[in-house]
């Protein structure tokens, strides 16, 4: 046997064995190279793990930590700009730092509005007192909160008759017109539910009213809120260029003053509104008006009736640095301030955001970095300026997504902006096990990871073009197939063609050669910049805070046009103009939108040049 072994030891290895040894050597070499290279994906216990799977695996205890954060954030009221709001900000900052995330803070100086003295009384015709009415919130028995008020409502006093206007919509005023009831010189009383409260006040002012009371519902809550006109934004600092290069507008600047209502307003409880409405005479309620039982008791008419109103009325950030493109950010944000305790609005979102930060922090600690761009987690004030149960009979959130609220999976909740929006309400009624919070955090976090990790941004401009075609068809019907709409149709077709081309390009760009990263980056640049083509740098006409030509709220709250805000504004502003002037104003806005759509198509193809911008658009219709 020893001789045989020696003989075998001197025999040459068969070709198969040689191939195995060579293969093993190459495998060892590749392994060593991989070990010395920074991984582009997460490494957990020596094996690759998809970031989405890793993110979802960190669900254990998520509902408990979310509940704890929500309890801390809602321990007391924290209206923006108050010391209590600073305490809530400190909690968020402490949590982010404890997760090992790099944090920073930045102070802002927006124009905020706080209530002063306010009173409300019923008077007889000879000005003698009938009753002093309460402006407190029944649900806030301990009076821990700021008294209900409308932010940015002007101070002032009014002694006038009251008129009930139902929800305060245009159709409600038309119903009063048919009854021969005018609100000019009167204080109007409306029930909450007629759209944005600022629009309710603006319509009343347009009808000649001198003040507005907006009644809450019978749950004991009184809804606070802003009545600023023209949408969100820092009142004294229109969006646009970087802050350092923007001129801050003064309080009395015309652009700022236009955003304040011209008459005072305040929210009142259902109990206070009932006391007012019981004093009204005049014609009976229109048959089409439906009001709550608490307001209908002893209701005699729409008015007028006697009433006197006297109304005197820091951001945090955390950064999770990426590996492949750390100079780019996926921004997650949620406001932190609340009118009251804010368990639902906004801190259900803030607590979910903190859970996302917790999971990203764990992933960062275990991997040393995250792939793709950096994450930028942000939160600040919003109030000045409900998610359906995902466990529905075996359906996913996505199954019901498009069937609710225009594709936004949310629902109204009755305690909105009242003292009832507390941790106790959430624990008892809103989400007792905090599983909805966990579901939201996971959907939100997975979306962020998708944006960060996909080699090519998942932006589908074909869907965008299809939606624009629907909008253009609706506009064409309204404009009776005018030539300007035909121009827009051609531009939408051009965008659709560019979208198909860029999708084909995206399928072939994810290659492993040395230039793949650069090609992906250039493609992502075009996908990002194409969306920016729809922004008007100087804002919509007369509204510098709004810049998106396709989707911004219209100036007229009664507008039925939910897209192309410039067109909607041109229509509402030209009601008193001649037909020729009206067509010219609308045609000019259509021209601007068409130019933006064709610009987006050029950007997608990589053909657009700002130097030759005027040559990129074939002007078929004079602007």
Place of tokens 């000879």: 126
* Average pLDDT, integer, range 380-402: 48
The pLDDT, as a whole number, for residue 129 is 77
The pLDDT, as a whole number, for residue 295 is 55
- Please check whether residue 69 is in contact with residue 351, taking contact to mean a CB–CB distance below 8 angstroms: yes
Distance CA 189, CA 212 (A): 6
In this structure, what token pair is assigned to residue 319?
A: 């950064």
- Angle ∠(474,476,480) on CA atoms, nearest 5: 125
The pLDDT, as a whole number, for residue 54 is 86
pLDDT in tens, 545-560: 788 999 887 777 667 7
Collapsing DSSP states into helix, strand and coil, what is residue 59?
A: coil
Backbone torsion region of residue 180, taken as left when φ is above 0, otherwise alpha when ψ lies between -120 and 50, otherwise beta: left
Residue by residue, DSSP assigns 185-220 as TSEEEEES-SS-HHHHHHHHHHTT-SEEEEE--TTS
* Average pLDDT, integer, range 238-266: 68
pLDDT in tens, 58-99: 888 898 998 998 898 888 888 877 777 888 888 888 888 888
The pLDDT, as a whole number, for residue 394 is 45
Does 370 sit behind a cis peptide bond, omega within 30 degrees of 0 on the bond before it? Answer: no
Residues with a catalytic annotation lie at 382
Place of tokens 């039925």: 560
- Please check whether residue 375 is in contact with residue 329, taking contact to mean a CB–CB distance below 8 angstroms: yes
Distance CA 87, CA 442 (A): 27
In this structure, the number of other CB atoms found within 10 A of the CB of residue 440 comes to 23
In this structure, what token pair is assigned to residue 402?
A: 């498009």
Whether the per-residue pLDDT at 240 is higher than 60: the answer is no
The pLDDT, as a whole number, for residue 131 is 79
Whether the per-residue pLDDT at 388 is higher than 60: the answer is no
Residue of higher predicted confidence among 39 and 371: 371
Average pLDDT, the chain: 75
3-state SS string for 260-298 = CCCCCEEEECHHHHHHHHCCCCCCCCCCCCCCCHHHHCC
The pLDDT, as a whole number, for residue 617 is 52
Backbone torsion region of residue 46, taken as left when φ is above 0, otherwise alpha when ψ lies between -120 and 50, otherwise beta: left
Distance CA 77, CA 347 (A): 12
* Average pLDDT, integer, range 452-456: 84
Count of all residues that appear for the chain in the document: 623
In this structure, the number of other CB atoms found within 10 A of the CB of residue 127 comes to 9
Whether the per-residue pLDDT at 534 is higher than 90: the answer is yes
Calculate the alpha carbon distances from 403 to 36, 214, 384, 397, 622 in Å.
50, 31, 30, 11, 41
* Average pLDDT, integer, range 235-246: 50
pLDDT in tens, 272-322: 888 888 878 778 878 778 665 455 554 555 666 655 444 333 445 566 666
């Amino acid at each position: 046997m020893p001789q045989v072994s020696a003989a075998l030891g001197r025999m040459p290895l068969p070709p198969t064995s040689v191939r195995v040894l060579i293969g093993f050597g190459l495998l060892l070499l590749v392994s060593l190279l991989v070990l010395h290279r920074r991984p582009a994906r997460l490494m957990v216990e020596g094996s690759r793990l998809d970031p989405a799977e890793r993110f979802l695996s960190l669900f254990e205890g998520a509902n408990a930590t979310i509940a704890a954060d929500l309890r801390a954030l809602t321990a007391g009221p924290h209206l923006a700009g108050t010391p209590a709001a600073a305490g809530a900000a400190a909690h968020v900052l402490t949590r982010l730092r404890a997760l090992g995330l790099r944090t920073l803070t930045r102070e802002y100086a927006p124009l905020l509005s706080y209530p002063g003295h306010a009173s409300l009384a019923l008077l007889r015709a000879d000005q003698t007192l009938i009753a002093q009415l309460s402006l407190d919130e029944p649900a806030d028995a301990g009076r821990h909160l700021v008294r209900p008020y409308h932010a940015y409502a002007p101070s002032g006093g009014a002694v006038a008759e009251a008129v009930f206007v139902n929800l305060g919509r245009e159709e409600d005023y038309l119903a009063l017109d048919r009854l021969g009831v005018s609100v000019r010189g009167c204080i109007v009383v409306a029930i909450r539910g007629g759209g944005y409260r600022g629009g309710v006040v603006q319509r009343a002012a347009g009808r000649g009213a001198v003040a507005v009371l907006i009644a809450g519902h019978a749950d004991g809550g009184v809804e606070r809120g802003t009545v600023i006109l023209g949408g969100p934004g820092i009142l004294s600092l229109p969006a646009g260029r970087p802050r350092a290069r923007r001129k801050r507008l003064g309080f009395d600047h015309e652009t700022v003053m236009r955003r304040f209502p011209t008459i005072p307003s305040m929210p009142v409880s259902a109990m206070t509104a009932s006391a007012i409405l019981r004093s009204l005479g005049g014609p009976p309620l229109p048959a089409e008006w439906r009001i709550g039982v608490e307001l209908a008791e002893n209701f005699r008419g729409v008015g007028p009736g006697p009433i006197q109103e006297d109304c005197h009325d820091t951001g945090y950030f955390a950064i999770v640095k990426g590996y492949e493109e750390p100079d780019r950010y996926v921004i997650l944000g949620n406001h932190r301030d609340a009118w009251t305790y804010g368990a639902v609005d906004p801190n259900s979102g803030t607590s979910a955001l903190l859970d996302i930060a917790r999971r990203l922090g764990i992933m960062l600690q275990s991997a040393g970095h995250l792939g793709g761009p950096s994450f930028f987690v942000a939160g600040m004030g919003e109030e000045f300026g409900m998610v359906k149960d995902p466990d529905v009979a075996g359906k996913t959130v996505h199954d019901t997504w498009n069937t609710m609220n225009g594709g936004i999976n949310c629902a109204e909740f009755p305690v909105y902006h009242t003292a009832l929006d507390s941790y106790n309400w959430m624990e008892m009624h809103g989400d007792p096990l905090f599983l909805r919070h966990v579901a939201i955090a996971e959907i939100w976090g997975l979306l962020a990871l998708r944006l960060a990790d996909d080699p090519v941004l998942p932006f589908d401009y074909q869907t965008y073009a299809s939606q624009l075609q629907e909008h253009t068809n609706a506009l064409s019907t309204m404009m009776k197939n005018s030539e300007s709409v035909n121009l827009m149709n051609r531009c939408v077709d051009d965008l659709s063609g560019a979208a198909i081309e860029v999708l084909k390009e995206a399928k072939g760009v994810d290659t492993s050669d040395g230039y793949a990263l650069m090609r992906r980056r250039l493609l992502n640049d075009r996908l990002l910049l194409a969306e920016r083509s729809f922004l008007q740098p100087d804002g919509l006409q007369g509204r510098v805070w709004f810049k998106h030509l396709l989707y911004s709220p219209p100036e007229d709250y009664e507008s039925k046009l939910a897209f192309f805000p410039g067109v909607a504004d041109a229509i509402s502003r030209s009601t008193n103009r001649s037909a020729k002037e009206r067509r010219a104003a609308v045609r000019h806005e259509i021209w601007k939108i068409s130019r933006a759509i064709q610009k987006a198509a050029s950007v997608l193809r990589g053909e657009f040049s700002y130097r030759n911008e005027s040559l990129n658009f074939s002007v078929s219709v004079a602007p």
